[in-house]
């Protein structure tokens, strides 16, 4: 059973980019925890801020972006206060990232062995190359990579194998958190399914926490313990996967799930298409950012931003429908079941 205590505590995190139109909040006052040994799925449309949030967890936001507010606590330490030396130790040793396209993340002139030996020796300068290679062989065997591949270059590997090398880079220093940013996007469905199984096995065997960032909410249903849904830089819903898939509360989450194709044949039922488009984050709507597209919007939604409220045990939602206020009224959500 997973430890329900938090490994990572994100508190009122905001990431802002300076643009010609002014400051743009790509992540706006987001708060949630990542527990020890859990897989947390982070989902939402393209441009909702989920990859920005993942990079913020490693303090990889580059100018003109900046972390403008909030805290990121890793085992109780605020990484935003780390100096350069402490930050280098944190990256790789305590937290690491699997990027969307490993072909552009791996050095094309380094072999698999060189990548992994370098990762060890950067953090453990006293470790000799033969000792590092011994550790690597054991790890790669666990990841299903033959030892003969140690001498291979990235272009000589398949997409799935390159992703496994990236996972190996995350595990070789026993990192407690792995951030998988759209790690399955470039893979075919067979390799994708194998990688999802492998991430679950890695979590179970090594006890690592995994933040799985994806736009594919159906994939999250297969691999995650909990799911966090983002929209336009805001966290709109958070809870156990089974609860959110059985009874989604936020109209945006309902729309996402209704938009997923199923194997059920029903000639009278069309696939739901969410109306409108995500807002321009340089000029976001007032109040709730989803209200221009929401089928259940009330007058208060355009004027005041709701808080993140625990509508059921462990199930949090950022919506006026589940909070008391003077204008609350009964609304029937006009979202396809």
Q: State how far the Cα of 75 lies from the Cα of 39, in Å rounded to an integer.
A: 17
Q: Return the CATH number at 212.
A: 3.40.50.300
Please tell me whether residues 166 and 185 are part of one structural domain: no
Please tell me whether residues 128 and 181 are part of one structural domain: no
Q: What is the largest CA-CA distance in the chain?
A: 69
How many domains is the chain partitioned into structurally?
A: 2
Pair 99, 186: CB distance under 8 Å? no
Single pTM value for the model: 0.88
- pLDDT for the residue 329: 52
Please tell me whether residues 225 and 283 are part of one structural domain: yes
Q: State how far the Cα of 71 lies from the Cα of 182, in Å rounded to an integer.
A: 24
Both tokens of residue 73? 């606590």
Query: Does 332 fall in a domain?
Result: no
Residue found by looking up tokens 């591949």 in the block: 149
**Among residues 147, 174, 201, which one ends one of the domains?**
174
Please tell me whether residues 39 and 113 are part of one structural domain: no
Residue found by looking up tokens 């199930």 in the block: 315
Please tell me whether residues 84 and 116 are part of one structural domain: no
303: DSSP letter: T
CA distances, 210 to each of 3, 104, 196, 279, 316 (Å): 13, 22, 11, 29, 20
Please tell me whether residues 236 and 309 are part of one structural domain: yes
Query: Does 53 fall in a domain?
Result: yes
- pLDDT for the residue 327: 66
**Domain span holding position 182:** 6-94+175-322
Both tokens of residue 256? 């996402």
**Among residues 135, 153, 174, which one ends one of the domains?**
174
Please tell me whether residues 116 and 142 are part of one structural domain: yes
- pLDDT for the residue 103: 77
Query: Does 74 fall in a domain?
Result: yes
**pLDDT in single tens digits along all 337 residues of the chain:** 456 679 999 999 999 999 988 899 999 999 999 999 999 999 998 889 999 999 999 999 999 999 999 999 999 999 999 999 999 999 988 999 888 777 788 999 999 999 999 999 988 888 898 888 988 988 888 888 888 899 999 999 988 888 888 888 888 888 999 999 987 776 777 777 887 888 888 899 889 999 999 988 888 888 999 999 999 999 999 999 999 999 999 999 999 998 887 766 555 567 788 888 999 998 999 999 999 999 999 999 999 999 999 999 999 999 999 988 766 654 444 444 4
Helix (H) or strand (E) holding 161: helix 159-171
**Among residues 119, 148, 174, which one ends one of the domains?**
174
- pLDDT for the residue 202: 85
């Amino acid at each position: 059973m997973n430890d329900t205590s938090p490994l990572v505590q994100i508190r009122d995190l905001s990431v802002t980019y300076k643009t010609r139109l002014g400051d743009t909040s790509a992540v706006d006052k987001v708060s949630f925890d990542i527990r020890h040994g859990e897989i947390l799925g982070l989902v939402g449309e393209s441009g909702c801020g989920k990859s920005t949030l993942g990079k913020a967890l490693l303090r990889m936001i580059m100018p003109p972006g900046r972390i403008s507010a909030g805290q990121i606590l890793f085992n109780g330490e605020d990484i935003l206060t780390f100096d350069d030396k402490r930050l280098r130790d944190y990256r790789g040793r305590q937290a690491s990232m699997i990027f969307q396209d490993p072909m552009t993340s791996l050095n094309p002139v380094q072999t698999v062995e060189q990548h992994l030996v370098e990762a060890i020796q950067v953090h453990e300068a006293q470790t000799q190359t033969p000792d590092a290679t011994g550790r690597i062989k054991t790890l790669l065997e666990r990841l299903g990579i033959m030892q003969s591949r140690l001498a291979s270059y990235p272009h000589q590997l398949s997409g799935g194998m390159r992703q496994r090398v990236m996972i190996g880079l995350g595990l070789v220093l026993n990192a407690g958190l792995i951030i998988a940013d759209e790690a399955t996007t470039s893979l075919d469905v067979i390799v994708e399914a194998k990688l999802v199984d492998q991430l679950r096995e890695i979590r179970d065997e090594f006890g690592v926490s995994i933040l799985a960032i994806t736009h594919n909410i159906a994939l999250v249903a297969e691999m995650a313990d909990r799911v966090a849904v983002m929209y336009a830089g805001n966290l709109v819903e958070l809870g156990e996967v089974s609860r959110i898939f059985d009874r989604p509360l936020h109209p945006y989450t309902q729309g996402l799930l209704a938009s997923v194709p199923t194997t059920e044949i029903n000639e009278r039922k069309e696939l739901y298409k969410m109306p409108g488009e995500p807002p321009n984050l340089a000029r976001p709507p007032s109040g709730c950012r989803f209200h221009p597209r929401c089928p259940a919007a009330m007058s208060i939604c355009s004027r005041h931003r709701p808080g993140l409220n625990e509508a059921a045990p462990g199930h949090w939602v950022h919506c006026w429908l589940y909070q008391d206020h003077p204008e609350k009224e009964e609304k029937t959500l006009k979202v396809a079941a």
